[in-house]
Structure 1
Amino acid sequence: MTTLGTAQAAPGEMDTGRLPVGETRDGTQVGLPVAVINGAADGDTLYVQAASDGDELNGVGVVQRVVPQLDPQDIAGTVLVVGIVNFHAFQVAEHRNPIDDTKTNRAYPGDETGTSTERIAAATFQVARRADLILDLHQGSTSRMIDECRVRCGPRHRLHDACLELAKVFDCGYVLDQKGPDGQLARAAPDEGIPTIDPELGGCVGWDEDSIQAGVEGVFNVLSYYGFTDGQVDLNPQTRANGFEQYGSPAGGLVSLRADLGERVSRGDVLFEVTDTFGGVKETVTADSSGIFWRARRLPQVATGEYVCSVGTDVDSY
């Protein structure tokens, strides 16, 4: 019998339930939605989680579409799923947990006696540590972004090659291979010996069907390649960025982007212009390095210093 919170599944069975992580302000218990798919045959364990940032919903869309397609009779091993991690932020469609104004993906491995976010991180990390592979499904918040996977352990980490292989199997086409901030699941779990990636499935308000489908295909690629299900996966070359440059606005006004997502840019190419209300150009911003136009803000209005876009740099193929 495999359990996750209140979900219990014998070999060849599936169950859903809730993982308790605390209480709301009126004393109601908070339980994260979880699923256990316990394969009929022995095998490894895959852990999948979504919405550690409460406004990043494409991962929830992936879970919603993948889980009903998983027949435990056809699976070797176990799939553990936490469908919504950041419970409080999800309820109000915000990025950070409004209880403690904290980003969950900076709190791992968590603290069982800490803040709301630290307790959620600790509870989900305890589940993640049971796995042999981890997929932490994200998106570029509500900005616009290409579909990509992030390898966050750093190139000198002992599991770097295994994480990079997992990203290649997931096959978004683009990989950001750059050591991430402390507290990310994709940083903490490799330290426990578990290959982990952070698929960033586009960026939108609500969710985007194309990015969700890319995520669904990625999950099934992983299931097939690592022997959870039958099937063959052809490994396609990925475009990898080893650096990431972010650009803010040098003035307030309205942004006009001059590059498209996924477009190759060269040093000195115009990335965007800032105009006044009547179209007068106030500032023109060019690329500091060659790379790929990776991410951009959604709304045109900006204040001085406000984020506008990002370029993936030091690009190669692997």
Structure 2
Amino acid sequence: MTSLGTASAAPGEMDTGRLWVGETRDGTDVGLPVAVINGADSGKTLYVQAASDGDELNGVGVLQRFVPQLDPTELSGTILITGIVNYHAFQVAEHRNPIDDTKMNRAYPGDADGTSTERIAAATFDAATRADLVVDLHQGSTSRMINEVRVRCGRRHRRHQACLELAKVFDCGHVLDQKGPDGQLARAAPDEGIPTIDPELGGCVGWDEQSIQYGVQGLWNVLDYYDFLQGEVELTTQTRASGFDQYGAPAGGLVDFKVDLGEEVTRGDTLYTITDVFGSKKDVVTADSNGILWRTRRLPQVATGEYVCSVGTNVDTY
């Protein structure tokens, strides 16, 4: 019998339940939705979570479509899932936990006696560290972004190659291989010896079906490659970036992009212009380095100094 919170499944079974992480202001229990899919045969354990940021919903869409297709009688090993991590932020469709105004994916490994965010991080980190592999489903918030996978442990980390392999298996086609900020699950779990990736499934308001399908296929790839299932995965070449150039607005006005997401740019290429409301050009912004247009703001209006876009740099293939 394998359990996560109140979900408990014998070999060949599946169950859903709740993982207690505290109480709301009126004393009501807060339980994260969790699932246990216990394979009929022994094998590895995979941990998957979604909605660490409350407005990043594509990962929830992945699980909504992926879990009903699973048959535990055909599975070797176990899948542990937390369907919504940032419970309070999800309720109000905000990025950060409104209880303590904290970003969840800066709080790992958490503190069982700490703030609301730290307690949730601690509970989900306990679940993650039971696994052999971890997939932490994200998206680029409500910005526009390519589908990519992030390896956040840093290239000198002892589990870097294993994390990079997992990213390649998930196969969004693009990988950001850059050490992440302290407190990320994809930083903390590799320190415990567990290969972990952070798929960033596009960026949108609500959810995007194409990005969701990348996530669904990525999870099937993981199950096949790591012998949870009997399928085979042919690894494909990935485009990898190890840095970002970020661009802001030198003037206020309306942004007009001259390149598309995922398109290669060369140093000196025009990335975007800024015009006034009548279309008169106010400024032109060009690329500082060769790279790939990785992420852009969603709305066209900008104030001076406001974020506009990011270009992935130091690009290679692996």
CA distance in 1, matches of 2:306, 2:132: 40
**Partner letter of residue 150 of structure 1?**
R
* Other structure's SS at 1:79 match: strand
Q: Which residue pairs with 1:228 in the alignment? A: 228
Alpha-carbon RMSD across the aligned residues, in angstroms, is 0.6
Tell me the number of residue pairs that the alignment of Structure 1 and Structure 2 aligns: 318
> CA offsets per residue over residues 57-98 of structure 1, 9 Å max, x none?
000000111111111101100000000000011001111111
Greater Cα offset, 129-138 or 296-305: 296-305
What amino acid does structure 1 have at the position aligned with 2:216?
V
Give the counterpart letter for 2:209 in structure 1.
E
- Once the two structures are superposed, what CA deviation does each residue of 1:86-126 show, in whole Å capped at 9, x if it has no partner? 00110011111111111100100011111111111011000
The correspondence of residues 1-318 of structure 1 with structure 2, limited to 5 A, is: 1-318=1-318
Alpha-carbon shift at residue 29 of structure 1 (Å): 0.6
- For the residues of structure 2 that align with 1:112 and 1:305, how far apart are their CA atoms? 39
Give ranges in structure 2 of 5+ residues lacking alignment. none
SS of the aligned residue for 2:27 comes to coil
Deviation at 1:248, TM superposition (A): 1.1
Q: How many Å separate the matches in 2 of 1:56 and 1:245? A: 23
Aligned partners of 2:301 and 2:110: how far apart in 1? 36
Amino acid of the residue matched to residue 217 of structure 1?
A: Q
Q: Tell me the CA shift for residue 252 of structure 1.
A: 1.4
Aligned-partner Cα distance in 2 for 1:97–1:305: 27
SS in 2 for 1:268: coil
Letter matched to residue 250 of structure 1: P
SS of the counterpart of 2:273?
A: strand
Deviations 1:148-207 (A, max 9, x none): 000000000000000000000000000000000000000000000000000000001100
Cα deviation for residue 274 of structure 1 reads 1.3
**What secondary structure, in the 3-state scheme, does the structure 1 residue paired with 2:316 have?**
strand
Residue identity matched to 1:30: V
In 1, distance between residues paired with 2:111 and 2:245?
Answer: 32
Q: In 2, distance between residues paired with 1:109 and 1:280?
A: 51
Using structure 2 for the length normalisation, give the TM-score.
0.99
Cα distance in 1 for partners of 2:275, 2:137 equals 36
Aligned-pair distance for 1:16?
0.1
Report the residue type matching 2:289 in the other structure.
S
| Secondary structure class of the residue paired with 1:244 | strand
- Tell me by how many angstroms 1:254 deviates: 1.0
Instruction: Measure the CA separation in 2 of the matches of 1:283 and 1:89.
Output: 37
1:177 maps to a residue whose letter is D
Q: After alignment, is 30-39 or 273-282 more displaced?
A: 273-282
Give me the whole-angstrom Cα distance separating, in 2, the residues matched to 1:18 and 1:265: 47
Offset of residue 32 of structure 1: 0.4
Following TM superposition, by how much is the alpha carbon of 1:294 offset from its aligned partner in structure 2, in angstroms? 0.5
- Partners of 1:246 and 1:21 in 2: how far apart? 36
**CA positional deviation for 1:56:** 0.4
Describe the superposition over 1:212-255 as per-residue Cα deviations: whole angstroms up to 9, x where unpaired.
00100000000000000110100000000111111111121111
Q: 4+ residue runs of structure 1 moved beyond 4 angstroms?
A: none
CA distance in 1, matches of 2:287, 2:248: 12
What runs of 5+ residues in structure 1 fail to find an aligned partner? none
Specify the code of the residue in structure 2 equivalent to 1:94: E
Q: Which segment is superposed worse, 177-186 or 243-252?
A: 243-252
**Could you tell me how far 1:275 is from its partner in structure 2?**
1.3
TM superposition shift of 1:297: 0.5
Distance 2:245 2:49 in 1: 28
Measured in 2, the distance between the counterparts of 1:257 and 1:98 equals 34
| CA distance, structure 2, for counterparts of residue 219 and residue 295 of structure 1 | 24
SS of the aligned residue for 2:315 comes to: strand
Distance 1:262 1:236 in 2: 17
